[in-house]
Chains A and B, each alone.
Chain A
């Protein structure tokens, strides 16, 4: 407070200060493009701003995870496409081997090709994305299978982990995004015996029958390969569904991000037109007030006394 100054002058100074504060506020809004920079700017909207920002961050996190899951799902889908082709190739080789003209030597030659396919199938089960084995379920730091021709299904099962990892869509609803290598390539019955449509087993059976020049074994393998092919297509359909779900979730996340950003903009962004007008008005008011004050009469009756 200013002591010794008359009330009228004090009011003039208080009004000048008010105009300056308004001009400063407009200037800050223009330079930052924000109407709300600190809690005291608009206390009633602070809570809403922070909640929207938290929701936006949450959706963006889910968006990032969905993108990662989509990469894995796309890779898995391509892997299964390759697996289907390999099983089809194995079926072709089985058809070659089952003909009456095939002899033991030719069948052994075909068996080598089949064993190569088995090796490739095991390699597909070990597919990894960004350091994660995508078919190893919850134990994604290690491959699920290794080649072992001594086993009935031609592979050594390294893991028995389930795939319980879930992904959230944009609204937070969880859903499953992966199957394990056991689910896909090493389908088992409830008692853990090999299922009829077990892919590894079907290919191994063919290789064994060809090596043994076993006509009936080859014929059985043809049937098993057919079932394995159908089973693989079901697994492919699963990943197709996952891809669709991920795509829909990503689109929804994109929309939510836009929505939240628009809401945030409404809450905290400055109205630049209003700020410019306020700045111009403040400058004009200030100049007018100072000019008017300067022209106020400075004399009193004392100045005219003789």
Chain B
């Protein structure tokens, strides 16, 4: 009879084990679409069975196993970072196509061609007042073209600064969420699939914004290091970052964007991926290459200076009239020479010049009444002006580089989209929930529970029979 009671105990325990297994399966099914969730599996262990020595056997539950693959998770985060970086760059750089257009009749290229055309028409009739005025009008269009391009690029920088502030705020917000989750983990040492899912979902969200390394500590908390170096979250502490600006050498020059750690160190060089990394690259590398910064003039400014200096040089080498006395030419363009990174923005037509003061005469030798005008007509296409190429050629390189930056970001974004989908699919295969699989387990545990319940009924009958013997 004692064996009947022990068998009853073993059977009742088995029912509890199967209930738990069914609970775990149910949790998998309800979290099949939950971001960050990895399927859990109950492990069943056979208990010692040696009736003669009192070991009653039965089934017990082992550790609940998670199917999470940390390598697959890290792969997903890497690709999400790449998608975030290139998606942000493609979005932020889209305006470059409009600032450096290639369409006929649009942009600086068209303005430079029109200026050359006005010089050419003037060379055919140097005395014509209307053609001289047309030169001034075309020159003004060139100056305004440079100003607009500079203003547009400056606005892109300002927009990028604001987006960097928003990205930093988002990183801190997600860091705060991880901090709270770490605190929960510290208060509850046992494995928690829900908490684990929330942690990994938050890490994946964070990877869209910034590149980092995530390391699980022995106490179960997650340590997040930005760029693999600077702490963001360690145990239950959050080390917030801030968006800042570099020291400016001139009020006329936009300073570079910085990201500061919680102790005030500049860490933007450590952040190379995610949307924040993309924004920093746009703000601190791409835009200054065109617009300039405290260390370089920027190619748009170099082109503006090249156009102004070349035309001014030719004009001032000519004569307005033979006289006597001979009257030399005056500059057509003016700009602020004290700020190399502000030339395009400050470029304008000389406010003191009139149409009569355009010097068409080349004193030579040989003397030519329209020699200067002819030289000006060829000024924009003459090689050797900037970096060995012509002014139009240099603008072409500028426009091509803008196109390459944008096209490169778009192609990388498209590739990253495919890669993210691919690695997520692989991760789902490794650690996701398959409804068919869960249904199979549910049927198995259900039958095992039913069989065990039947055992209880049989043992109960046997006990009653035994008791009735004694009556």
Q: Do A and B bind each other?
A: yes
Q: Is the CB of B117 within 8 A of A61?
A: yes
Contact B418 A141 (CB under 8 A): no
Please state if B371 and A39 are interface contacts (CB–CB under 8 Å): no
Q: Which of B38-46, B118-126, B453-461 lies at the binding interface?
A: B118-126
Chain A neighbourhood of B120, CB < 8 A: 58, 61-62, 64-65
Closest CB of chain B to A67's CB: distance in Å? 10
How far, in whole Å, are A13 and B116 apart by their CA atoms in the complex?
50
List B contacts of A164 (CB < 8 A). Answer: 366-371
| In the complex, residue of chain A having the shortest beta-carbon distance to the beta carbon of B421 | A11
How many Å from the CB of A13 to the closest CB on chain B? 8
A107-152, CB < 8 A from B: 130-132, 137-141
Partner of B399, one of A46, A54, A55, A58: A46
Among A167-175, A188-196, A197-205, A229-237, the stretch in contact with B: A167-175
Tell which of A87-95, A245-253, A297-305 binds the partner.
A297-305
B378 touches A43 (CB 8 A): no
Scan residues 330-378 of chain B and give those whose CB is less than 8 A from a CB of chain A: 366-371, 374, 377-378
Complex Cα gap A14–B435 (Å): 24
Task: Write the chain A residue with the least CB distance to B207.
Answer: A1
Q: Which residues of chain A are near B421, meaning CB under 8 Å?
A: 7, 10-11, 13-14
Interface centre among B97, B427, B443 (most CB of A within 10 A): B97
| From B97, B125, B395, contact of A40 by CB (8 A) | B97
Give the residue name and chain of the B residue nearest to A66 (CB).
Answer: B124
Q: What does the 1/0 interface line of A26-53 toward B look like (CB < 8 Å)? A: 0000000000111111111011111101
Residues of B within 8 A of A65 (CB): 120-121, 123-124
Contact mask B172-199 → A, CB, 8 Å, 1/0?
0000000000000000000000000000
CB within 8 Å: A-B pair count: 195
Q: For window 1-34 of chain A, which residues contact chain B by CB distance below 8 Å? A: 1, 3-4, 6-8, 10-11, 13-15, 17-18, 21
The answer, among B366, B393, B400, B417, for a CB contact under 8 Å with A39, is B400
Q: Across the interface, which residues of B come within 8 angstroms of A41, CB to CB?
A: 403, 407
- Complex Cα gap A188–B124 (Å): 28
B204, B392, B403: the one within 8 Å of A38 (CB): B403
Complexed CA–CA distance, A130 and B267 (Å): 69
Interface majority SS on A: helix, strand, loop or mixed? helix
When chains A and B are docked, how far (Å) is the Cα of A43 from the Cα of B368? 42
Docked CA distance A275–B467 (Å) = 91
Known: A6-B432, A11-B425, A47-B396. A39 touches B100 (CB 8 A): yes
- Please measure, in the bound complex, the distance between the C-alpha atom of A206 and the C-alpha atom of B403, giving whole angstroms: 76
- List the B side residues contacting A51 at CB < 8 Å: 390, 392-393, 396
Q: Which of A1, A48, A62, A172 has the most CB of B within 10 A?
A: A1
CB-CB under 8 A from A39, the residues of chain B are 96-97, 100-102, 399-400, 402-404, 406-407
Interface flags for B93-134 (1: CB within 8 Å of A; 0: not) read 000111011111000010011001100110111111000000
Q: Check if A50 sits within 8 Å of B369, measured CB to CB.
A: no
- Would you list which residues of chain A between 240 and 283 have a CB under 8 Å from chain B? 268
In this complex, how many residues of chain B approach chain A with their Cβ under 8 Å: the count is 78
- CB pair B97–A302 under 8 Å, yes or no, is no
- Asked if A158 is at the interface of the complex by the 8 Å CB criterion, the answer is no
**In the complex, what residues of B have CB within 8 A of residue A7's CB?**
421-429, 432
CA–CA, A14 to B417, complex, Å? 6
Which residue on chain B has the smallest CB distance to residue A47?
A: B396
In the assembly, what is the distance between CA of A15 and CA of B403, in Å?
24
CB distance from A71 to the nearest CB of B (A): 11
A288 to B29 CA separation, bound complex (whole angstroms): 32
What's the least CB distance linking A145 to chain B, in Å? Answer: 19
Instruction: For A61, list chain B residues within 8 Å (CB).
Output: 116-117, 120-121, 377
In the assembled complex, the CB of B78 is this many whole angstroms from the nearest CB of chain A, namely 14
Distance in angstroms from A39 CB to nearest chain B CB is 3
Q: Does B440 contact A (CB under 8 A)?
A: yes
Q: Quick check: is A57 within 8 A (CB to CB) of the other chain? A: yes
Quick check: A46 and B396 within 8 Å, CB to CB? yes
Residues of chain B contacted by A130 (CB below 8 angstroms): 125
How many Å from the CB of B379 to the closest CB on chain A? 11
Do the beta carbons of B417 and A4 come within 8 Å of each other? no
Complex CA–CA separation, A131 to B125 (angstroms): 10
9 extra A-B contacts, CB within 8 A, seeds A3-B205, A8-B428, A166-B368: A3-B201, A11-B422, A43-B404, A44-B404, A46-B400, A46-B403, A54-B109, A54-B381, A168-B377
Q: A residues within 8 Å of B by Cβ? A: 1, 3-4, 6-8, 10-11, 13-15, 17-18, 21, 36-44, 46-51, 53-55, 57-58, 60-62, 64-65, 68-69, 130-132, 137-141, 162, 164-168, 172, 174, 268, 300-302, 305
Query: Which 10 residue pairs across A and B have the least CB separation, nearest first?
Result: A39-B403, A7-B425, A7-B424, A301-B439, A47-B396, A43-B403, A11-B421, A61-B120, A138-B369, A300-B435
